[in-house]
Structure 1
Amino acid sequence: MREEFNRERVEELIREAKRHGPFHALTHEERDATRHEFLSKISKEEGLWVFGYGSLLWNPAFHFTVWQPARLYGFRRRFCLQASIGRGSPEKPGLMLALDHGGSCNGRAFHIAPEKIETETDILWMREMISGAYDARHVQIRLPDRTVKGLTFVINRSHPRYIAEISMEETVRLLATGEGRLGSCRDYLNNTVAHLDEMDVKDRYLHAIQQKMKELDHRADIA
């Protein structure tokens, strides 16, 4: 939902998070500085490709001309970001997906027209760079017929919300109970898997988590 990503909404989310304790957030100026730094290093004549691997699959929020199935090498999809806002809260903390180092990842590449790069990356940065938990990266994105240069957001391993190691059992527990103003982690997982399935992408990691969550629900039903 595009209307969710504006300065007033971002400030509201940050204020809400800080009411419950310390929360690191970038200022609008800091966030814009990282965006302008990224944009200063790319050629805008042919537009900008953006690689999506989680909620961008079904809710990109920014305007794009076309999307294509895509693969990114060197990074893998993993629940490694603690969520205390959005799809988590202090009472019901959750986890979010991020791109962590190693392996490869299938997703979607969205093309932003040259004349829309300024406005649409502003939306993207308000969506992805509230706290600095991600780093904007120049990457090589493999499309069905060629490789293109583009943008994606990978985990900032020095960020306090980064989780280096977490068991499958703890991952499932947090996803089963995590919930915030933007919805539940359970819905986030199921939406991601459903849209990957539509693309005929079988993510063994996500399917294993989904199966273990079903087993957890079954045990709860018969308890």
Structure 2
Amino acid sequence: MEATPPTPSQMLAYLEEFRRTGAASDQLPNDIYRNFFAEILAKKTLTSAASNSLLESFDAVASNQEVPPSPTDEDVWIFGYGSLVWKADFPYIDRRRGFVWGFKRRFYQHSIDHRGIPERPGRVVTLLPGDPSQDRVYGVAYRIAASQKGAVLDHLDYREKNGYERCSLHFHEYPKTSSADGEPIQVIMYVATQANDSYAGDVWQVPCIARQIFSSAGPSGPNREYLFNLATAMEKLFPGAVDDHLGELVASVRRFIDEDEPHLLEGALLQEISVALQEGEPSHQDQAERLQKLLERSQQPGGREWLLHGQLMRKNEA
């Protein structure tokens, strides 16, 4: 059973009762944490949220439209290698699994509009040049009807506005279909080059990226959700395919969640509770209102990551 959030009156009554008993004031932050914050924030956060129904129906349902337009020679194909793999929020008339040669997928792009915010950017993927004969990136190609491609490309230009540019290359189906003649498909994809303002620079070490993902969230949700969704999609759509960078990040972020998140959240909340008790007017009513606002913020989307980021910054400064 989920914990029921306290009401402002319950918070006020607790403060007044604590003062009335004459308990040591230095114990108050710990008692408030234990009684009002710990149970609510102890719930595990999402570790994998890619839609199983979407992935399981991939080959059975080729289009996301009830009556898709008929294919024509004027259609275009869009290749997705990040969130587009599981979140195609545009109309398409066909989709296929496959890969492109000569690239490496890396979490080298800051996200300030989807999985992070300007003051706390997250990390998302882009592609780097690799060995044309060895390196391949797996993803999904979507066929866009000629009558819909203008609107879809405008939508994607906006969605990928934070540093991504269009380019064109060849896409190879996986697994190869007997009906195809083996010819690759010309696709459009979006790549964030090293020249864009949100490129992450030389902070490429997996532990650093993992910590950033672990403590970031944005309008589209927690950064960890993006990472785990991508890993789940790759595992289900491309069994046996290896992406060492993705696998190392998943393992590192899961370690942060299992080993570090509980005590980091506790430390962050104890710090914020102490501040709420000390700042402003000393009345119990004011303290109760500040504590209630802290509790509400902690439970809002991105609240957990806000606490984690702040605590990690304090530990770095110590």
TM-score by length of 2: 0.53
1:124 equivalent to 2:124? Answer no
> What is the deviation of 1:204?
2.3
Aligned residue in 2 for 1:77:
105
Give the residue type in structure 2 aligned to 1:106.
Y
Aligned residue in 1 for 2:164:
134
> What is the deviation of 1:175?
0.5
Structure holding more helix per residue: 2
Cα distance between partner residues in 1 of 2:207 and 2:219 = 25
> What is the deviation of 1:46?
4.3
Aligned residue in 2 for 1:34:
none
> What is the deviation of 1:222?
7.6
Please list, as runs of the form range in 1=range in 2, the aligned pairs for 1:67-106 lying within 5 A after superposition: 67-102=95-130, 103-106=135-138
Give the residue type in structure 2 aligned to 1:169.
P
Give the residue type in structure 2 aligned to 1:175.
I
Following superposition, which runs of at least 4 residues in structure 1 exceed 6 angstroms of deviation? none
Give the residue type in structure 1 aligned to 2:104.
R
Is contact 1:77–1:99 with CA below 8 Å preserved after alignment?
yes
Cα distance between partner residues in 2 of 1:160 and 1:221 = 30
SS at match of 1:64: coil
Of 215, 218, 234, which aligns to 1:180?
218
Cα distance between partner residues in 1 of 2:195 and 2:112 = 17
Cα distance between partner residues in 2 of 1:183 and 1:212 = 19
TM-score by length of 1: 0.74
1:53 equivalent to 2:53? Answer no
SS at match of 1:50: strand
Cα distance between partner residues in 1 of 2:158 and 2:111 = 16
Which residues of structure 1 form unaligned runs of 5+? 1-43
Aligned residue in 1 for 2:140:
108
Q: Which moved more, 1:61-70 or 1:117-126?
A: 117-126
Q: Which moved more, 1:44-53 or 1:94-103?
A: 44-53
CA displacement 1:117-160 (0-9 Å, x = unmatched): 112112111111x24x1120011111224311110011221112
Is contact 1:81–1:163 with CA below 8 Å preserved after alignment?
yes
Is contact 1:51–1:70 with CA below 8 Å preserved after alignment?
no
Of 65, 90, 104, which aligns to 1:62?
90
Aligned residue in 2 for 1:168:
206
Give the residue type in structure 2 aligned to 1:177.
S
**Over alpha carbons, which structure has the higher Rg?**
2
> What is the deviation of 1:91?
4.3
Aligned alpha-carbon RMSD (Å) = 1.8
Of 244, 251, 268, which aligns to 1:211?
251
> What is the deviation of 1:216?
2.1
Aligned residue in 2 for 1:195:
233
Give the residue type in structure 1 aligned to 2:219.
R
SS at match of 2:102: strand
